[in-house]
Structure 1
Amino acid sequence: MNIPKTHIGAAVKTNNLGVTPSVQSVGTRAGPALSPSEWMSGVLTASTGAVTGSPSAISVTYGLETRDSSTSPAGPWVALEDMDGNPVEVEITAANTCKEVDFDLTYVPEGHTELRVTETVALSNGSTPTVASSAVLVLGGANRLPV
């Protein structure tokens, strides 16, 4: 398939909220599960906004997890790994920052039918610190073009 440079939107799916935009304190949350079956690769784009409460350090780590949902109960969530066996993740350590990490869905373990984004927020010291954060998944390499 040869997509003209002026129609790149036909080759990717960008409306996948990994985790919804929200103000977060310390902790971990996970986004909704989606099926990665028709896609070959993607980009996890993560961002932070304003930080309140004057923390001395911030760390927001985003990762990808997969699981087999065809069994009852569904299997455990496990980190998606790259070709070297490292978890696919990106860390942001500043306010008002955007980072991305590419991932290859051919490394989803066999039988795994769901993919989700996780977000872990760590804020050091401060007075009830929070950080605005969100993530989006951009998926590509489909056998069929998204509509």
Structure 2
Amino acid sequence: MYQIKTVVTWTGALALALASSIALAQAVPAGAWKGAAQVGGKPVRIDVAFQGDAADVRFGSPYDCRIGGKYAGKQQDAAIYAFGVSVAGGQPCNNLSATGRMAMTSSADRKLHLTIDEKTRDGVRHWQADLEPAAP
């Protein structure tokens, strides 16, 4: 009896882990993506590299900074990434890490739509960007 219960428990745990892995794979893209957001009327280049459940996000001029994010789950149709501490660049990315999140949805035309929250003196500014796969 003990052996059967153990096998059932391990089988259930394995099935749950497999289902979680499949859900993560469907929500998290792989590889390098590029695009731009309009911030304060000016374009800001955004490059994102996804590997596993991590995202390395680089912002072009005038931000010129880099910040890492980790997959934090889904909210409605969006994959949510929680930002960590700015890796390089100081205050511009510190503003982004203070708000702590990036939401991402994918579209049928193989683009990713990002919404990034930036903390400002007046509250939170929402960046919108469409990314496409970077050339290999």
The alignment's TM-score, normalised by the length of structure 2, stands at 0.27
Structure that is richer in helix per residue = 2
- Higher relative contact order (Cα pairs below 8 Å, separated by 6+ residues): 1
